[in-house]
Every structure is written in structure tokens, then in C-alpha cells.
């Protein structure tokens, strides 16, 4: 049975969700028990130390190991946050978790500056200590791989194409292509390929300056991989097998033009795990307007169903932005789109296991809280950050995963 809990302290909220042998932890830095705003004057290092101390306890007691971890905050506090993490895991004797790869994204809090939060996915090793392995290249940790139900699951992190941002549109697009091709090469080193990818999370420096160039670079790579068909043919566009994805503003410590995390599942043809894209009823394939990703991907196992919803914003069936300059209406439209999408899989908005709320303006956070309360999701596991979205007129985007316990349905 899915078990949810939330711990509220003066400086953070910690959400815990366990489903069979999977664990999701989300820590959101907040001002008070009401969690209506982010604390602008909180000490990021002290907050991180408290959060990671508690996370270390949970991981130790559950014997879970991290397979994906992502932090959001200002880049200038990264070293302090990472140090707090290392000290907490070392004190708890969690060597296997302390050496897990870590993605740090510049996701500014909705008020002030500093630390926004943490997202962790962990699993219980089912085949001893070697069931989860760390992917390394030239001494750098780049991901985790693990085995479930006869399939190999792979999570790559911090894939950036190498080097600092190249500045120009053409140079940045070239680096984006290198990023996708680096991911393909790493997947092949694990016996998989990019065609096994179910989800990508892509954080793009100055996204509004070159999102068109980024999409063109991704399309070139995906065409080479063999994903793309003819977007002008409606039926074919909706049937394309493309990973779910988020493309959002976010600087990275390496200073690269873009960086991404990649989730793939390999080697379960005809087995008990099913991977499939799903299309929305309120939004159609984004490939129709040049963005190569699916609305969502479903990873279905015998005991659970994980629905990986792409970053979703206030866009209509034809790909046009709706409710310009009305943040509350954009939030409602987005939640309605996501609700309809996951409803076909037997999930509701309350089944969120991990989410990132992106707001163009931090001042809209109370608006989001009010609308979320109307939908009954004011207290779901989310990290809330300020970031530009792929269009200047978009004010809100939701990046979320939902999990359904098939053995113990609602």
C-alpha cells in the first residue's frame, strides 16, 4: 500500500511516499507550518543540514538506496548544500548513498534567494549490494543502474555535452546536440540505447534566447535515432514514440548551455514491465509545433504504475498560449490538462509522487497556493522555484510524476 507522510518544521516540509520497494522524498524549504511562502531569511546551509539529517535517518531505517537526486537553489550556495549532504550521509554510515550522483539546478526560491528543495527517488536493493551500480566515466559519477522484473533501469545525470556555454545560438545548439549524443553513448555503454529513454529533464541556460535552436538540435538528433516521422500527418504525430520531457530555464554549475537527466528502461521485451507514451485530450502532440516529446510516458510494473508527465503549461489543443497575463487562469488550465491526461490511467492529481512547480514570477506563489488548494493539492510533494518557461508569456509550468498502487487501488 502507498504510504504518505509529511513532516512540517519552521524551515522546511519533508514529504515521504513509499510504494512497495520504492521511496520518494521531497523536501521543500518553507517559512512556517502554513508553508504559504518561502523563507527569504533562512540560512541555506543550516536548512540543508536539518533536511539531510532527517533524510539520512529515513534511508538508513528503510535500507533504501538513492537512484536519482536533484537539488534546486542558487548556484553560489551549492558547495554548502553539498557539504551538508555529505556530512549527514557520512554520519549515518550511508556510503552507498553518499557517492550517488547529484544534479544541482539553479532554481531560485519564490522569495529571497538560497535553497529551494530536494527531490530523491530511492529503491530497496532486491538482489544484494550489486543490484544497484554507479555509472562512472573518467572518475566522474554520471548515474545509477539497477535491475527490476528482469529489466535494467538507467538514470543518467548531469549530461551536458561538455564545456561552458558557447554563447551564440549556433554554438549552443551544437552543444545541445553533443549532450544528446553523449547520452546515447553512455546508454550504449550500459547495453541500452536512446530508444529506451522514457523521460528527460532538461535545464537550459537563458531558454528564451534560443529555445527554437534547441528544438532544432533535438529534432536532428532524434531523427538520426529514428524517433521522428511526419508531424503533418495527424495520426502519425500522435503515435510517435518519444520520451516525456521537461525543457525549462536552469543554469548549472558547469556553466553549460544545457544539462539533462535521462531515465531509460531496457531489456524487458515481452516481460512484465510495459513502457508506453500517452496523448492528452486537452493538448495534442507537441511535435506538431516543433518540440519532440510525448505528453507523458507510463512505466507499468506488476505492482505499480508510474506516470511521467512532461512539463505542462497553459497551451491549448493547437499549441497556442491561453490566458495570457492571467496567472491564476494559466495554473487552472494546466492542472485541468494534467488531470485529464492522468485520469485515463486511473490517477488523480493527489497521486503526485514528485513535482516541480515553475513560476515566472515569484510573487505568483500565493496565487498558485490558492488555486492548488481549490484542487485539493495544496500539500503535495513539490519543490517550488522561479524560472523562465519556454515562451515569455507563459507564467506557470508543472513538472510531475504520479504513482498508482495497483495492488491497493484507491
| Residue of 39, 78, 37, 107 whose CA lies nearest to 389 | 107
Q: At what angle do helices 207-225 and 169-189 cross, to 10 degrees?
A: 40
**Region class of 138: left (phi > 0), else alpha (psi between -120 and 50), else beta:** left
Model pLDDT for residues 179-204, shown as the tens digit of each residue: 999 999 999 999 999 999 999 999 99
Using DSSP, state whether 62 is helix, strand or coil. helix
CA distance 258 to 278: 26
Mean pLDDT for all residues in the chain: 87
What is the percent of the chain where pLDDT is above 90? 64
Does the pLDDT of residue 33 top 50, yes or no? no
| 50 closest CA partner among 98, 11, 94 | 11
Cβ atoms 199, 295 nearer than 8 A: no
Q: What number is the average pLDDT over the span 395-399?
A: 98
- Alpha-helical segments (H) within 143-268: 169-189, 207-225, 234-239
How many residues does this entry show for the chain?
410
* Cell 557539504 belongs to residue: 83
Cα(239)–Cα(165) distance, rounded to whole angstroms? 35
Mean pLDDT is lowest, of 76-80, 215-219, 292-296, 369-373, for: 292-296
403 contacts 15 by C-beta, under 8 angstroms = no
CA distances from 209 to 61, 130, 160, 399 (A): 46, 44, 18, 22
Task: Among 134-138, 280-284, 404-408, name the one with the lowest average pLDDT.
Answer: 280-284
76 has pLDDT over 90 = yes
Instruction: Evaluate if residue 238 carries a pLDDT over 80.
Output: no
Place of cell 556510503: 95
> Residue 5 above 90 pLDDT?
yes
> What is the DSSP-derived secondary structure letter of residue 30?
-
Asked whether the beta carbons of 11 and 116 are under 8 A apart, the reply is no
| 3-state SS, residue 115 | strand
Domain count, the chain: 1
Q: In whole angstroms, give the CA distance from residue 205 to residue 254.
A: 11
Asked if 314 and 396 touch (Cβ cutoff 8 Å), the reply is yes
Tell me the longest C-alpha to C-alpha distance in the chain.
Answer: 58
In terms of residue numbers, what domain contains 275? 3-405
Q: Alpha carbon of 136 to those of 130, 187, 198, 365: distances in Å?
A: 15, 12, 21, 39
CA-nearest of 40, 36, 45 to 8 is 36
Rounded CA separation 307/304 (Å): 10
Mean pLDDT of 231-257: 76
> How many other β-carbons are positioned within 10 Å of the β-carbon of residue 64?
23
pLDDT class of 268 with cuts at 50, 70, 90: low
HSE at residue 6, side-chain half, CA atoms within 13 A, is 13
Segment 104-127 shows an average pLDDT of 87
> Is residue 61 in some structural domain?
yes
Provide φ and ψ at 23, rounded to 5°.
-135, 130
Residue 306, CA atoms < 13 Å, CB-side half-sphere:
22
Question: Rounded to an integer, what distance in angstroms lies between the CA atom of residue 183 and that of residue 263?
Answer: 10
Q: Is 410 within the bounds of a domain?
A: no
Contact 238/192 with Cβ under 8 angstroms?
Answer: no
Confidence tier at 79 by pLDDT (50, 70, 90): very high
**C-alpha radius of gyration, the chain, whole number:** 20
Three cell numbers written together for 342: 492522468
- E strands, 30-167, are 65-73, 103-106, 115-123, 132-137, 140-148, 151-159
Q: Does residue 345 fall inside a structural domain?
A: yes
Q: What is the pLDDT of residues 151-171, one digit of tens each?
A: 899 999 999 977 655 555 568
Written as nine digits, the cell of 383 is 519543490
Q: Which residues pair with 385 in a beta bridge?
A: 358
Lowest-pLDDT range of 36-45, 207-216, 296-305, 377-386: 36-45
- How far is 244 from 298, CA to CA, in rounded Å? 9
Q: Is residue 306 part of a domain?
A: yes
CA distance 402 to 355: 9
The CA distance from 215 to 143, in Å, is 25
**For residue 127, how many other CB atoms are within 10 A of its CB?**
10
Chain-centre distance of CA 291, in angstroms?
Answer: 18
Amino acid at each position: 500500500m502507498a504510504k504518505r507522510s509529511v513532516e512540517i518544521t519552521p524551515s522546511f516540509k519533508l514529504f515521504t511516499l513509499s510504494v512497495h520497494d520504492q521511496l520518494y522524498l521531497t523536501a521543500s524549504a518553507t517559512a512556517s507550518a502554513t508553508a504559504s511562502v518561502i523563507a527569504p531569511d533562512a540560512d541555506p546551509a543550516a536548512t540543508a543540514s536539518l533536511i539531510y539529517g532527517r533524510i539520512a535517518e529515513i534511508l538508513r531505517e528503510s535500507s533504501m538506496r538513492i537512484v536519482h537526486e536533484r537539488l534546486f537553489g542558487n548556484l553560489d550556495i551549492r558547495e554548502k548544500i553539498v557539504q551538508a549532504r555529505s556530512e549527514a550521509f557520512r554520519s549515518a554510515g550511508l556510503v552507498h548513498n553518499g557517492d550517488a550522483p547529484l544534479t544541482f539546478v539553479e532554481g531560485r526560491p519564490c522569495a529571497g534567494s538560497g535553497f529551494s528543495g530536494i527531490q530523491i527517488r530511492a529503491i530497496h536493493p532486491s538482489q544484494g549490494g550489486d543490484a544497484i551500480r554507479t555509472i562512472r566515466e573518467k572518475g566522474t559519477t554520471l548515474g545509477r543502474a539497477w535491475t527490476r522484473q528482469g529489466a535494467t533501469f538507467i538514470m543518467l545525470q548531469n549530461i551536458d555535452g561538455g564545456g561552458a556555454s558557447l554563447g551564440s545560438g549556433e554554438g549552443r545548439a551544437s552543444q545541445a546536440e553533443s549532450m544528446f549524443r553523449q547520452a546515447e553513448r553512455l546508454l550504449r555503454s550500459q547495453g541500452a540505447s536512446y530508444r529506451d529513454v522514457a523521460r528527460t529533464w532538461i535545464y537550459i541556460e537563458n531558454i528564451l534566447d534560443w529555445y527554437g535552436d534547441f528544438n532544432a538540435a533535438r529534432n536532428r538528433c532524434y531523427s538520426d535515432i529514428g524517433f521522428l516521422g511526419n508531424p503533418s500527418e495527424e495520426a502519425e504525430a500522435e503515435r510517435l514514440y518519444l520520451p516525456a520531457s521537461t525543457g525549462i530555464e536552469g543554469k548549472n554549475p558547469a556553466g553549460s548551455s544545457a544539462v539533462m537527466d535521462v531515465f531509460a528502461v531496457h531489456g524487458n521485451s515481452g516481460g512484465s514491465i510495459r513502457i508506453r507514451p500517452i496523448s492528452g485530450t486537452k493538448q495534442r502532440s507537441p511535435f506538431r509545433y516543433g518540440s519532440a516529446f510525448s505528453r507523458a510516458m507510463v512505466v507499468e510494473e506488476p505492482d505499480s504504475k508510474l506516470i511521467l508527465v512532461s512539463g505542462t503549461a497553459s497551451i491549448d489543443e493547437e499549441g497556442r498560449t491561453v490566458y495570457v497575463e492571467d496567472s491564476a487562469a494559466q495554473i487552472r488550465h494546466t492542472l485541468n490538462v494534467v488531470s485529464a491526461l492522468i485520469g485515463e490511467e486511473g490517477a488523480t492529481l493527489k497521486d503526485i509522487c514528485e513535482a516541480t512547480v515553475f513560476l515566472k514570477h515569484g510573487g505568483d506563489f500565493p496565487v498558485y497556493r490558492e488555486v492548488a488548494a481549490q484542487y485539493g493539492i495544496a500539500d503535495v510533494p513539490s519543490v517550488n522555484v522561479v524560472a523562465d518557461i519556454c515562451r515569455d508569456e507563459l507564467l506557470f509550468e508543472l513538472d510531475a510524476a504520479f504513482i498508482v498502487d495497483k495492488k491497493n487501488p484507491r
